[in-house]
C-alpha cells in the first residue's frame, strides 16, 4: 500500500465533466445505495497493488496486478500503472472499473493516459450514471480527450446504448467539462399530433460568448414541412434580452410561408434611464394554434407589441412609449393602440410637508384597426394638491385636482373634431386600522380595516368626449379605491369597504383575509344608485391548502353575478392539486360556466401521475384534457403525456378534440430525448416544480 499526493485524482476527474457537475440534493436518491462507500482512512489517497517498483532517479512508479486507487469520491481498479511523477505523465492499463462520486459517474476503459498536467486521453472508454450492476444506458467511445485548461472534451466514434441496444452513433461528440457551456447538438424531441403529424426536432446549441448564446432548432413536421426556430439570449451589465423567431417556408397544409417572432429586451442606462421592448407577431392568426408547443389551446385574442423609454429623477418622470396589437382570434371589439404616448409627471417625496403637490400629463395618439371607431390625439394634464394625515391607527387624505382633457380627432363621433373639457376633481380618502388578540385562537390577532373614499367630478360636458377605453375598468375590491388615470367621467360617489384579517402574532402569516365593498352614486344622471357588491376571500388552511375566491353580484338583479374560486393544495414530493371554478351570469343568461382541475401526484418514489381537465358545464363538453405518467429510476426518467383540446373549428364549424402525444426520456447526467413535457406540466399544473427532487 502506498500513500502519495492526489495526482491520480487529476488524472481521471476530467471525465466527470461528461456527467452533470451539479449534485442537486436527492438527485441520486433512487439508486438504493451510494456509488462509493465512505473512506475510513484519513489519507489523501491510497494506492494498492501486488508489486510496486519506484525508480527515484527519474521518478518512475510501476505497479502490477490488482491495482486499486482509492480516496474520497474516487475509485480506480486497473491491471497496471506506469507513471512518471516528475513529468506528471503516465498511464493506467486495463481499467476494469472507475467510480467518481461527482456526477455519479462509473465505467471502464482499456487505458487512461495522462499526457500532461491539463490533458488526458481515454481509449476504449465507457461511462454511465447508473449503478454498475443495473445499467439502463451506457455510452461507449473509441477514444476521448479532456483538456482542463480549455474546459472542453472530445469523444470520437461514440455509441449510446439503452438496455444494451445501440440507439445512437456519432463520429464526433464535443462535451463541456463541469458546468462550462459548449456549442454542439442537443437531444432531439419526438412527438405526434393530429394537426401536425409526427414531429422530430434536432436542436443545435451555439455558445457565442460568455454572455451570449443561441439555440437553432430545425423541426420536421410530417404534415407541414421543416420549420427553423431560433432562440438568441444575451446578458449585459446594462440589460438583457431574448429573441425567439421561427420560419416555415410553404407550409404543406396552410399553402403559404409561416413565421413568428417573440422578443423581449430590458435596458437600464445609469440610474435614471430605462428602456423596454416587447414584440409578439405572427404571419397569420392560426400560427399559435398550429405550432405553439402543440399544446397551447389558451391563446390570447390579441398579441401585443410595445416599446418604452423612460427617465426618472428627483420626483420627475418622463416617458415615451408605443403599442400595437395583432388580432389572432375572433373578437367583437379591437383595443386601441398607442402611436405613440408621451407622459410627464412630477410626484416628489414630501414626507415633511403638510401639503403634497403632484402633476400628471400625457399626450397620446390613439389608433384602432376598426375604421368605424373614433380615433386621434388625446392630451391630458392634471395637477393635484393633497394633505395626507397618517397615524398608527388611521389615515385621512383630502385632495383636489384639476384635469384638462382635449382631443384632435380624425374620425370624430360628435359634431366637432376637437372636443375638450376642464373639470375639478374632489376626493377624500379615510381608513382605520383596528386590531385585537383573537379570543378563540392563541397567538392570532384579528384586524378590522374599514375604508371610505368620496369622489366628486362635476358635469362639464365630459359626456361628449370619446372613450378610447385603454385602461381596464374591471371591478375588483382594490379598484373601488383606485380610479383610472385621467378618468374625468362625471360622477359623485362614495366607495365603502371593509377588510378583516387573521394574522399569526409571531410569524406574520395571514390565515384569512376577507373584504366586502360597494360604490354608491349620487349624481342625477347616474344609471343606477349603487354598484355591484364586490367580495374577496383568501383562506390559508393547514396541510398546504389555500382557498381564493372573489364574487360580485348585482343587488338589484340576483341573476347577474360573477364568481372566480380556486382551491390549491401543495404537498410533499412535488405533489400539487388545483380546482378552479369560473361562472358569469348576466340577467339569467349564462355567459361562462367552466371548471378546471389539475394535479401532479407521486404514487411511489418511482412513479408519478399527472392529469388535468377543463370542462364547459353549460355546454356539457370537455374543452381540454391531458394525462401523463412518469417512471423514474436511479439514472433515468421516462415521461409520456397525452393531450387533447378543442382549438380550431373544421370546415363545418365543429370543434373536435385534437390529440397530441409527447415522449421524453431523460438520461440523468447525459441529457434527454425531448424536453417539452416538463415546461408543459409547469404551465398546466400550478405549483408543480419538475426540478424539485422527490425525497
DSSP characters for 254-312?
TSS-EEEEEEEEEEEETTTEEEEEEEEEESSTTHHHHHSTTT-----SEEEEEEEEEEE
Q: Residue 64 and residue 51: Cα distance in Å, rounded?
A: 6
Domain range spanning residue 117? 2-171
Q: Which of 575, 587, 520, 585 is nearest to 545 (CA)?
A: 575
Highest-confidence range of 236-245, 462-471, 637-646, by mean pLDDT?
Answer: 236-245
Question: In the 8-state DSSP scheme, what is residue 114?
Answer: E
CA distances for 336 relative to 21, 240, 302, angstroms: 51, 29, 11
* Structure-model confidence comparison of residues 304 and 691, the more confident one: 304
Q: Residue 435 and residue 130: Cα distance in Å, rounded?
A: 59
In this prediction, residue 24 carries a pLDDT of 42
Instruction: Decide if 256 is inside a domain.
Output: no
Q: Region 155-166: what's the mean pLDDT?
A: 91
Q: Which of 546, 537, 482, 491 is nearest to 514 (CA)?
A: 537
Residues 6+ apart with CB under 8 A from 34: 101
Cell of 589: 343568461
In this prediction, residue 94 carries a pLDDT of 94
In this prediction, residue 690 carries a pLDDT of 66
In this prediction, residue 691 carries a pLDDT of 60
**Pick from 475-484, 526-535, 547-556, 568-577: least confident:** 475-484
Band of residue 527 on the pLDDT scale cut at 50, 70, 90: confident
| Residue that finishes a domain, picked among 117, 146, 171 | 171
Q: Residue 407 and residue 1: Cα distance in Å, rounded?
A: 93
Q: Are 645 and 624 in contact (CB under 8 A)?
A: yes
The CA radius of gyration of the chain, in Å to the nearest whole number, is 33
Instruction: Decide if 263 is inside a domain.
Output: no
Band of residue 541 on the pLDDT scale cut at 50, 70, 90: confident
Instruction: Decide if 101 is inside a domain.
Output: yes
Paired residues of 431 in beta bridges: 395, 451
Instruction: Decide if 380 is inside a domain.
Output: no
* Residue 382 clears pLDDT 60, i.e. is over it: yes
As a whole-number percent, the residues of the chain with pLDDT over 70 amount to 87
Q: Which of 522, 529, 532 is nearest to 562 (CA)?
A: 532
What's the 3-state SS for 469-503? CCCCCCCCCHHHHCCCCCCCCCEEEEEEEEEEEEE
Q: Residue 89 and residue 182: Cα distance in Å, rounded?
A: 27
In this prediction, residue 673 carries a pLDDT of 62
Q: Are 580 and 550 in contact (CB under 8 A)?
A: no
* Residue 114 clears pLDDT 90, i.e. is over it: no
Question: In the 8-state DSSP scheme, what is residue 484?
Answer: P
Instruction: Decide if 110 is inside a domain.
Output: yes
Domain count along the chain: 2
Instruction: Decide if 654 is inside a domain.
Output: yes
**Pick from 466-480, 575-589, 680-694: least confident:** 466-480
Cell of 548: 381564493
In this prediction, residue 26 carries a pLDDT of 66
Residues 6+ apart with CB under 8 A from 390: none
Tell me how far apart the 2 most distant CA atoms of the chain are, in Å.
109
Q: Residue 344 and residue 309: Cα distance in Å, rounded?
A: 12
Residues 6+ apart with CB under 8 A from 447: 433, 434, 435, 499, 500, 501, 503
In this prediction, residue 329 carries a pLDDT of 74
Between CA 631 and CA 636, with CA 633 as vertex, the angle to 5 degrees is 85
* Structure-model confidence comparison of residues 360 and 646, the more confident one: 360
Q: Provide the CATH number for the domain around residue 124.
A: 2.60.450.10
Tell me whether the omega of the peptide bond preceding residue 159 falls within 30 degrees of 0, making it cis.
no
Chain segment 40-74, per-residue pLDDT in tens: 655 666 778 888 888 887 888 888 888 888 877 77
In this prediction, residue 674 carries a pLDDT of 58
45 φ/ψ angles, rounded to the nearest 5 degrees: -160, 140
Chain segment 601-642, per-residue pLDDT in tens: 999 989 999 999 999 998 888 988 999 999 999 988 888 999
* Residue 499 clears pLDDT 90, i.e. is over it: yes
In this prediction, residue 176 carries a pLDDT of 63
| Residue that finishes a domain, picked among 151, 171, 191 | 171
Place of cell 457565442: 208
Chain segment 140-156, per-residue pLDDT in tens: 999 988 777 776 778 89
Contacts 24+ apart (CB under 8 A), 209-214: 211/235, 211/236, 213/181
> How crowded is residue 396: how many other Cβ atoms within 10 Å of its Cβ?
14
Q: Residue 340 and residue 323: Cα distance in Å, rounded?
A: 7
Q: Are 496 and 452 in contact (CB under 8 A)?
A: yes
Instruction: Decide if 634 is inside a domain.
Output: yes
Is the model's pTM score more than 0.95? no
Environment class of residue 539 by beta-carbon count within 10 Å: exposed (0-12), middle (13-18) or buried (19+)? middle
Instruction: Decide if 616 is inside a domain.
Output: yes
Q: Residue 135 and residue 98: Cα distance in Å, rounded?
A: 14
Q: Residue 678 and residue 662: Cα distance in Å, rounded?
A: 11
Chain segment 174-231, per-residue pLDDT in tens: 766 655 677 777 767 788 887 888 888 888 888 898 899 998 989 999 999 999 999 9
Q: Region 123-140: what's the mean pLDDT?
A: 91
| Residue that finishes a domain, picked among 171, 206, 235 | 171
* Residue 654 clears pLDDT 70, i.e. is over it: no
Distance from chain centroid for Cα 471: 26
Amino acid at each position: 500500500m502506498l500513500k502519495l499526493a492526489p495526482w491520480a485524482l487529476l488524472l481521471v476527474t476530467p471525465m466527470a465533466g461528461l456527467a452533470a457537475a451539479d449534485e442537486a440534493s436527492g438527485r441520486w436518491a433512487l439508486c438504493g445505495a451510494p456509488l462509493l462507500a465512505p473512506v475510513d482512512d484519513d489519507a489523501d489517497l491510497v494506492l494498492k497493488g501486488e508489486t510496486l517498483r519506484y525508480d527515484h532517479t527519474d521518478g518512475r512508479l510501476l505497479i502490477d496486478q490488482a491495482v486499486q486507487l482509492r480516496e474520497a469520491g474516487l475509485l480506480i481498479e486497473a491491471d497496471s500503472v506506469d507513471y512518471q511523477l516528475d513529468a506528471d505523465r503516465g498511464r493506467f492499463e486495463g481499467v476494469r472499473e472507475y467510480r467518481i462520486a461527482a456526477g455519479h459517474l462509473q465505467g471502464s476503459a482499456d487505458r487512461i493516459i495522462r499526457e500532461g498536467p491539463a490533458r488526458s486521453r481515454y481509449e476504449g472508454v465507457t461511462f454511465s450514471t447508473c449503478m454498475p450492476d443495473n445499467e439502463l444506458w451506457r455510452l461507449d467511445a473509441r477514444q476521448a480527450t479532456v483538456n482542463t485548461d480549455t474546459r472542453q472534451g472530445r469523444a470520437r466514434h461514440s455509441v449510446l446504448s439503452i438496455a444494451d441496444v445501440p440507439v445512437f452513433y456519432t463520429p464526433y461528440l464535443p462535451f463541456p467539462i463541469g458546468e462550462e457551456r459548449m456549442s454542439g447538438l442537443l437531444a432531439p424531441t419526438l412527438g405526434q399530433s393530429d394537426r401536425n403529424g409526427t414531429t422530430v426536432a434536432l436542436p443545435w446549441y451555439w455558445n457565442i460568448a460568455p454572455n451570449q448564446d443561441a439555440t437553432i432548432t430545425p423541426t420536421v413536421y410530417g404534415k407541414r414541412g421543416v420549420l427553423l426556430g431560433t432562440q438568441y439570449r444575451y446578458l449585459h451589465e446594462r440589460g438583457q434580452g431574448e429573441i425567439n423567431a421561427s420560419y416555415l417556408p410553404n407550409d404543406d397544409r396552410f399553402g403559404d410561408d409561416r413565421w413568428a417572432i417573440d422578443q423581449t429586451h430590458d435596458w437600464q442606462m445609469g440610474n435614471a434611464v430605462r428602456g423596454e421592448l416587447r414584440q409578439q407577431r405572427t404571419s397569420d392568426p392560426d400560427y399559435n394554434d398550429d405550432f405553439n408547443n402543440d399544446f397551447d389551446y389558451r391563446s390570447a385574442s390579441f398579441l401585443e407589441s410595445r416599446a418604452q423609454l423612460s427617465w426618472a429623477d428627483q420626483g420627475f418622470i418622463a416617458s415615451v412609449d408605443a403599442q400595437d396589437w395583432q388580432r389572432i382570434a375572433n373578437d367583437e371589439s379591437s383595443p386601441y393602440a398607442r402611436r405613440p404616448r408621451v407622459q410627464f409627471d412630477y410626484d416628489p417625496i414630501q414626507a415633511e410637508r403638510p401639503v403634497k403637490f403632484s402633476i400628471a400629463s400625457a399626450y397620446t395618439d390613439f389608433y384602432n384597426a376598426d375604421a368605424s371607431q373614433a380615433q386621434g390625439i388625446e392630451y391630458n394634464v392634471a395637477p393635484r394638491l393633497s394633505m395626507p394625515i397618517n397615524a398608527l391607527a388611521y389615515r385621512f387624505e383630502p385632495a383636489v385636482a384639476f384635469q384638462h382633457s382635449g382631443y384632435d380627432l380624425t374620425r370624430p363621433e360628435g359634431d366637432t373634431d376637437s372636443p375638450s373639457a376642464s373639470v375639478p376633481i374632489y376626493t377624500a380618502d379615510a381608513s382605520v386600522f383596528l386590531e385585537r388578540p383573537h379570543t378563540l385562537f392563541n397567538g392570532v390577532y384579528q384586524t378590522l380595516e374599514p375604508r371610505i373614499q368620496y369622489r366628486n367630478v362635476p358635469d362639464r360636458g365630459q359626456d361628449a368626449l370619446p372613450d378610447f377605453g385603454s385602461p381596464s375598468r374591471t371591478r375588483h375590491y382594490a379598484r373601488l379605491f383606485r380610479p383610472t388615470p385621467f378618468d374625468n367621467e362625471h360622477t359623485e360617489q362614495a366607495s365603502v369597504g371593509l377588510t378583516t384579517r387573521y394574522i399569526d402574532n409571531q410569524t406574520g402569516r395571514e390565515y384569512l383575509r376577507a373584504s366586502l365593498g360597494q360604490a354608491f352614486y349620487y349624481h342625477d344622471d347616474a344609471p343606477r344608485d349603487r354598484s355591484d357588491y364586490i367580495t374577496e376571500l383568501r383562506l390559508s388552511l393547514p396541510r398546504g391548502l389555500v382557498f381564493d375566491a372573489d364574487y360580485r353580484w348585482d343587488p338589484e338583479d340576483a341573476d347577474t353575478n360573477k364568481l372566480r374560486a380556486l382551491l390549491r393544495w401543495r404537498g410533499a414530493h412535488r405533489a400539487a392539486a388545483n380546482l378552479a371554478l369560473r361562472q358569469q351570469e348576466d340577467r339569467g343568461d349564462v355567459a361562462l360556466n367552466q371548471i378546471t382541475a389539475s394535479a401532479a401526484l407521486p404514487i411511489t418514489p418511482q412513479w408519478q401521475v399527472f392529469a388535468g381537465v377543463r370542462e364547459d358545464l353549460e355546454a356539457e363538453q370537455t374543452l381540454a384534457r391531458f394525462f401523463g405518467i412518469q417512471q423514474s429510476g436511479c439514472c433515468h426518467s421516462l415521461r409520456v403525456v397525452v393531450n387533447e383540446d378543442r382549438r380550431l373549428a373544421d370546415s363545418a364549424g365543429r370543434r373536435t378534440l385534437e390529440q397530441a402525444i409527447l415522449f421524453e426520456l431523460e438520461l440523468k447526467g447525459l441529457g434527454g430525448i425531448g424536453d417539452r413535457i416538463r415546461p408543459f406540466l409547469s404551465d398546466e399544473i400550478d405549483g408543480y416544480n419538475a426540478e424539485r427532487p422527490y425525497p
